[in-house]
C-alpha cells in the first residue's frame, strides 16, 4: 500500500518455505519502481531477493534476482499501446534452465514471434533462482508493516 507518491508502506510475512519471507508491493509507476529498495535489502542483509511479476491483461512480465546487492538475472517485457505491442525492455544475466528453449528479441524490439513469459514460467524461474526449501510448518500469520521514507 502506498502512503503517498514518494513514500511506501510495505507488508512482510512468512513465506511458505523456511528461511524466506514474502513482501507485498503495489505499483504506482510499474514493476521497476522498487528496484532501489530491493537492491538495498539484498546489500544490507547479504541476501537473495527474487521478484516476479506478470500482468495477464497487458502481457507485462518481469523477473529479477539480486544476490548480495548484485543483479544476477533481470528480464522485463513491457507492453505499450497505440499500437499494442510488448517490447523487450531488459534481459540481463544468464538464462536459467527454465528458459533454455526460449528465444528473446534484442532489447527494444517487439516480442511478436518470441517468448512472452507467463506466471508458471516465472514460478519455475523462482525455483531456478534458489527459492527452495522445506515447507514452513509454523506459519504464525503475523505481518510486519514497514515504511520506506524516501525523503
Dihedrals phi, psi of 124, to nearest 5 degrees: -65, -35
Residues contacting 150, CB < 8 A, separation 6+: 6, 7, 8
pTM score of the predicted model: 0.83
Q: What is the pLDDT of residue 2?
A: 41
Average of per-residue pLDDT values in the chain: 85
Span 83-116, pLDDT tens digits? 889 999 999 999 999 999 999 999 999 999 999 9
Q: Are 78 and 89 in contact (CB under 8 A)?
A: yes
Q: What is the pLDDT of residue 4?
A: 55
Q: Which residue in 51, 61, 53 sits closest to 114, CA to CA?
A: 61
Give how far Cα 35 sits from Cα of 70, 135, 139, Å.
11, 28, 28
Span 51-87, pLDDT tens digits? 998 888 888 899 999 999 999 999 999 999 888 899 9
Amino acid at each position: 500500500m502506498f502512503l503517498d507518491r514518494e513514500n511506501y508502506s510495505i507488508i512482510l510475512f512468512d513465506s511458505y518455505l523456511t528461511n524466506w519471507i514474502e513482501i507485498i508491493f503495489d505499483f504506482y509507476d510499474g514493476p521497476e519502481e522498487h528496484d532501489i529498495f530491493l537492491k538495498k535489502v539484498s546489500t544490507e542483509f547479504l541476501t537473495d531477493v527474487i521478484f516476479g511479476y506478470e500482468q495477464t491483461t497487458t502481457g507485462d512480465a518481469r523477473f529479477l534476482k539480486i544476490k548480495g546487492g548484485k543483479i544476477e538475472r533481470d528480464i522485463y517485457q513491457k507492453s505499450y499501446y497505440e499500437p499494442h505491442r510488448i517490447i523487450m525492455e531488459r534481459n540481463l544475466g544468464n538464462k536459467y534452465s527454465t528458459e533454455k528453449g526460449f528465444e528473446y528479441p534484442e532489447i527494444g524490439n517487439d516480442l511478436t514471434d518470441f517468448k512472452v513469459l507467463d506466471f508458471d514460467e516465472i514460478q519455475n524461474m523462482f525455483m531456478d533462482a534458489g527459492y527452495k526449501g522445506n515447507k514452513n510448518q509454523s506459519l504464525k500469520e503475523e505481518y510486519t508493516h514497514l515504511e520506506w521514507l524516501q525523503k
